[in-house]
């Protein structure tokens, strides 16, 4: 099995989803404009919550576009990949707000699958993925995300909100 598509896809996922977390750590609340503009859905709950920011989306797109270049792909692939990953992440947040779960509350699977599956499916051909490699990437991302989230949550200066 060719491992480059697995490695490249996993790296793009980690960039797309890790860049906003690092930006929040480095910048705090600077330029952190909530995507939902603090507006509520008809159920009275926020659309996504304050942890989903335009800054996070922009940084995700920029970092993943840069990562794509390093991996030999066009930056537009990285930008598309990050956009799809962020769309999956926003979908997860929307669902969790409907379930009255607060930002930062972790739901295994819901926090990882939409943000990884959507870009993997749409960018399937360009990344040279097969069903087996896509499932492998999704599974590895789920485990790595859970491990990193657990490790980072123990550090007093590095919180993670979903």
Percent of the chain, pLDDT > 70? 93
* Interval 88-99: pLDDT, tens: 999 999 999 999
Per-chain mean pLDDT for the chain: 91
Place of tokens 């590895």: 140
* Interval 144-161: pLDDT, tens: 999 887 776 666 655 544
The Cα 8–Cα 87 span in angstroms is 20
34 phi/psi in degrees, rounded to 5: -60, 135
The Cα 13–Cα 155 span in angstroms is 23
The structure's pTM equals: 0.90
The stretch 79-89 carries a mean pLDDT of: 98
Q: Phi-psi bin for 110: left (phi > 0), alpha (psi -120 to 50), beta?
A: alpha
Query: In the chain, where are the structural domains located?
Result: 4-29+44-153
The stretch 56-63 carries a mean pLDDT of: 97
- Give the contacts of 25 (CB within 8 A, at least 6 positions apart): 157, 158
Residue 140 confidence (pLDDT) above 60: yes
């Amino acid at each position: 099995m060719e491992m480059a598509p697995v490695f490249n896809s996993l790296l793009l996922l980690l960039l797309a989803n890790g860049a906003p977390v690092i930006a929040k750590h480095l910048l705090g609340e600077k330029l952190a404009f909530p995507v939902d503009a603090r507006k509520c859905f008809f159920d009275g709950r926020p659309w996504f919550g304050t942890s989903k920011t335009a800054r996070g989306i922009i940084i995700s797109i920029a970092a993943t576009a840069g990562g794509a270049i390093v991996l030999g792909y066009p930056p537009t692939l990285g930008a598309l990949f990050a956009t799809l990953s962020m769309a999956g992440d926003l979908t997860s947040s929307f669902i969790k707000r409907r379930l009255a779960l607060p930002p930062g509350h972790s739901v295994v699977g819901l926090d990882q699958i939409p943000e990884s599956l959507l870009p993997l499916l749409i960018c399937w051909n360009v990344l040279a993925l097969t069903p087996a490699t896509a499932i492998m990437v999704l599974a590895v991302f789920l485990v790595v995300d859970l491990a990193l989230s657990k490790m980072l949550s123990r550090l007093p200066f590095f919180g993670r909100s979903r």
